[in-house]
Structure 1
Amino acid sequence: MANEKLEVMSLERAIFAGGCFWCMVQPFDELPGIHSVLSGYTGGHVPNPTYEQVCSKTTGHTEAVEIIYDPALITFADLVEIYWQQTDPTDAFGQFEDRGDNYRPVIFYFNEEQKQIAEESKQRLANSGRFDQPIVTKIEPAQEFYVAELYHQEYYKKNPANFARNHARRAAFLKEHWNEQN
């Protein structure tokens, strides 16, 4: 073999909660630099929760996605901008059809740089005038992420008709508020 140079990738993590995790996977899933997007639970006090436990609203967890990405191809700032365009950042009590604390919108950060990027982005969105209500999405330190059950993974691919029904109200909202960028 000739001298081959093996590059070692340095991957990073991002965790976003924006309502039903089924709707949060697809916007990130096929972007350059994304290595995986997993549905799961985070932010609560029950270890290894099940979907039924999280839905009971007694675990403190919220549905979220964990994104493993290559920062040389896509940055955390890029991911945050995509995140805003998937949620209603003025609704702290869930997202669209999904109501309750387990659907609250949160940007979780792993370090001070991610925290600063998220806070600055949130402030820019608040100052933009795009929304006439306050931006209430939380920015919190990342906690343990528990991968959801297998049937929740890549739900939009496995169940396109049901995904489309669940995604309809979100899609209409996004079109109304972000259409000029789509």
Structure 2
Amino acid sequence: MKYEKATFAGGCFWCMVRPFEEMSGIINVRSGYTGGHVDHPSYESVKNGHTGHFEAVQITYDPKRFSYQQLLDLYWAQIDPTDDGGQFHDRGPQYRTAIFYHHKNQLDQAQTSKEAIEKSGKFNGAPIVTEILPATTFYEAEENHQQFYKKQPEAYKEDRAASGRDAFIHAHWHAIE
């Protein structure tokens, strides 16, 4: 079987794992850092906002069971694509949104999906600021950040509720995980 990778930044990576991980055809979802200029960054260094890295998830998936288009659709429905200062209560460049493409087909699909969101009018003409960037080295986050929603379910629920993410998703995408 040939698996593929997809990489998305959607603010706090804790909130980006679960929606993807629970889908059939998803092999693995890892939290990590990408897009910056520091080799082997740590959570603390990325959190400080000076590494250029985004908090992101890298998804290994079976494209015969779950398409890249389905991944894009699920990704968009987890974020506020109009916020260039972070996501929800997580502020700073490390929490911006981005799609990191691994090959030209992903680039083409990502651009088409972004254009569709822009044309939808869903955000009252606000510009869609989610970047589409070439995938670079993905550094896995420390183990305590992997599948955080399973390891620390109460902390995950509290952080997610306080963030405003679920209210935004419900108001704009009509789906709460």
Partner of 1:103: 95
Partner of 2:10: 18
Q: Rate the CA distance shift 1:52–1:119 in 2: closer, same or farther, 3 A.
A: same
- Name which of 113, 116, 119 aligns with 2:111: 119
Superposed structure 1 runs of 4+ greater than 4 Å apart: none
Per-residue displacement from partner, 1:70-93 (whole Å, max 9, x unpaired)?
A: 000011111011000000000011
State TM-score, norm by structure 1. 0.93
* Structure 1 counterpart of 2:158, one-letter code: R
SS of residue in 2 equivalent to 1:39: strand
Alignment of 1:43-122 (within 5 A): 43-122=35-114
CA RMSD, Structure 1 to Structure 2 (Å): 1.2
Q: Which runs of 5+ in 1 are unaligned?
A: 1-8
Q: Distance in 2 between matches of 1:145 and 1:21?
A: 13
SS of residue in 1 equivalent to 2:7: strand
Partner of 1:4: none
Q: Which runs of 5+ in 2 are unaligned?
A: none
Q: Rate the CA distance shift 1:115–1:179 in 2: closer, same or farther, 3 A.
A: same
Q: Distance in 1 between matches of 2:84 and 2:103?
A: 23
1:175 aligned to 2:170? Answer: yes
Q: Which has more radius of gyration? A: 1
SS of residue in 1 equivalent to 2:40: coil
Q: Distance in 2 between matches of 1:139 and 1:16?
A: 9
Partner of 1:155: 148
Q: Distance in 1 between matches of 2:77 and 2:58?
A: 17
Per-residue displacement from partner, 1:5-38 (whole Å, max 9, x unpaired)?
A: xxxx100000000000000000000101100000
Q: Distance in 2 between matches of 1:104 and 1:37?
A: 19
Identity of aligned residues (%): 52
SS of residue in 2 equivalent to 1:32: coil
